[in-house]
A and B are shown apart, each in its own frame.
Chain A
Amino acid sequence: MSKKLKSSEVIITRGIQLSGFSSILFVLMILFFLLYEGIPALFTVPLDDLFSSRWYPIEEYYGIIPLLLGSLVVTLGASMVAVPFGILTAVYISEIAPAWLKEILKPLVELLAGFPSVVLGFLGILVVSPFLRDVLHLPTGLTALTGSLLLGGIAIPTIVSISEDALNNVPETYRQGSLALGLTRWQTIWGVTVPAARSGILTAIMLGLGRTIGETMTVMMVTGNAPILPNSLKVLFMPIRTMTATIASEMGEVATGSPHYHVLFFIAMVLFLFTLAVNIIASKISFSRMKRSERILS
């Protein structure tokens, strides 16, 4: 009997180990497919054209610069909204709110994280964009600004929950020490707690922005889908087009294996490498923090 038990355990253990390694396999597979379908774009489309400022695939203009800048503009706009609101909300929830209020605020922020991005896009079309059009007297409400505001809403839950974790992980003794020295709670928050949690907060910002740059449906629905090269601040009030929206709206109509198809995979490759960089930096930040705290403890 014990022998049978052993063999079943060996099988289960092997299965668990294999599953453990599956994530590496998936990342490699995704990278492989993006390279496999994206690299040919470099050979079928001349490099100068690929990095030119005109995106008009019907006439074989495959300049991805307007799309890159479009993603950048929307992401920066979203960070203007999400970073201050996200961090300050996290500080409020973690340091100031009474316990009962915390129990209400946390599920609410989590609810926002659960909103499907099409729902936000839908509300953007029907509520936010007409509002902005009327208030700012714009020809259309489907602009980079609309996208930024809604994407800010998408990044906020990520920033709030990770920052709040970071603040919670600051040892209570830090706060007590500061208060015992006669500092007010307000001074303690900004002089002790937030600086102690800064690497976690930085990670939160990075991951929030990572989500923003990869967000697809909302930007596709509300930014107006015009691949224009942004050249001044006015671009915030004009329609633009991001990398993600381009892939989502054009992939359905291209012939498999055409230059357009490969260029779209090439854009996906750029997006992948971008988020890869963001995530590696974010995890390096938290790793280095871990090492520092280990050093302090030892």
Chain B
Amino acid sequence: MSRYQEKSVHRQLLFEKAGFSILTVLTILTVLPIIAVVIYVIVLGSSAISWDFIFEMPMDGMRAGGIWPAIVGTFYLTLGTAIFSVPLGVAAAIYLSEYAADNQVTRTIRLAIINLAGIPSVVYGLFGLGLFVIFLNFGTSILSASLTLSIMTLPVIISTTEEALSAVPQSFRVVSVSLGATKWQTIRRMVLPQALPGILTGIVLGLERAAGETAPILFTGAAFFLPRLPNSPLDATMALPYHLFVISTQVPGMPIQIQYGTVMVLLFFVLIMNLIVTVIRSRARARRQW
């Protein structure tokens, strides 16, 4: 090796070292704020958290008391979203993965799913207002908001479920059918159980997004303030994200404590959901049979 070449190799390796360091720093700069936000919110919010803050009704124009109706409302909305979007989304994914032929129709379906995923959340809100609130006359209600959120969540559930289904090896299906099982029996007994962890992950991620959304429920079901809990799906409801929006921008003289407390509860939900996903994934990876 000539001296020139040796020098150039040396320089390249130095170059590599410098490049790797820069990328490391940039990645840290990307990730650090995420950790910082979580710690910041926990530090400032934890002093607001108490039994009363979680389980009391808001008082004094929301400047005192708790956030119970917002928590319950978000729970109802998430439940409603799950009821509509999970069966429909999983069934649609089964269709795409197990039944659909590779033709123009299927490509159109895929394009539609990609588009649903890209539609801005506030446009979903307008659509929900036009269809569910006004046209179908459900009013501003949990039902309208849940239906709107369901359509928004659908693409997440469909695409993650489809991915989980197509990851199941083809041989599982072939063996099942060769033993005399019908197509549906094969799906029901062989494919779905194997894909379950992936499907659950998709459902949790989809519902997490739905629970944190504000724009789609602004005009379809969210209430500024309610003195009582909703008692039917046709009632409007308070919701955590919308409540946070209200108390941080619309109510003057709002104690900062309550705001941070609300953020913390919201973030706690997100952390729990993410933890569930991580646990499901690692357990599934450990148990994987293929």
CA distance A112 to B34 in the complex (A): 6
Contacts of A213 in B (CB 8 A): 120
Asked whether, in the complex, the Cβ of B92 is within 8 Å of the Cβ of A19, the reply is: yes
| B158 within 8 Å of A (CB atoms) | yes
| A176 within 8 Å of B (CB atoms) | no
Interface string of B184-197 (1 = CB under 8 A from A): 10000000000000
B203-262 contacts to A (CB < 8 Å): 205, 208-209, 211-215, 218-219, 241-242, 244-245, 248-249, 256, 259
Q: Kindly provide the distance from the CB of B125 to the nearest chain A CB, expressed in whole angstroms.
A: 7
Q: Report if A221-B248 is in contact (Cβ < 8 Å); known contacts: A93-B27, A251-B219, A275-B120.
A: yes
Q: Kindly provide the distance from the CB of A165 to the nearest chain B CB, expressed in whole angstroms.
A: 11
Asked whether, in the complex, the Cβ of B27 is within 8 Å of the Cβ of A256, the reply is: no
A34, A88, A123, A217 interface centre (most CB from chain B within 10 Å): A217
Instruction: Using CB atoms, name the residue of chain B closest to A91.
Output: B23
B23, B88, B126, B213 interface centre (most CB from chain A within 10 Å): B126
CA distance A121 to B40 in the complex (A): 15
CA distance A46 to B249 in the complex (A): 34
Contacts of A27 in B (CB 8 A): 112, 115-116
Interface string of B109-136 (1 = CB under 8 A from A): 1111111111111111111011100100
Instruction: Using CB atoms, name the residue of chain B closest to A185.
Output: B16
Q: Report if A26-B118 is in contact (Cβ < 8 Å); known contacts: A19-B91, A20-B100, A280-B111.
A: no
Q: Which of B53-61, B167-175, B271-279 touches A?
A: B271-279
Q: Kindly provide the distance from the CB of B223 to the nearest chain A CB, expressed in whole angstroms.
A: 12
Q: Is the interface of B mostly helix, strand, loop or mixed?
A: helix
Asked whether, in the complex, the Cβ of A20 is within 8 Å of the Cβ of B115, the reply is: no
| A107 within 8 Å of B (CB atoms) | yes
Q: Kindly provide the distance from the CB of B222 to the nearest chain A CB, expressed in whole angstroms.
A: 10
Q: Report if A275-B119 is in contact (Cβ < 8 Å); known contacts: A125-B248, A251-B218, A280-B111.
A: yes
* 30 A-B contacts (beta carbon < 8 Å): A13-B99, A17-B99, A19-B87, A27-B115, A33-B130, A34-B123, A37-B130, A88-B27, A89-B31, A96-B23, A109-B31, A116-B213, A116-B241, A119-B241, A119-B263, A119-B267, A122-B263, A123-B37, A125-B249, A214-B120, A214-B121, A216-B120, A216-B122, A216-B214, A244-B215, A251-B129, A252-B219, A265-B126, A275-B118, A279-B114
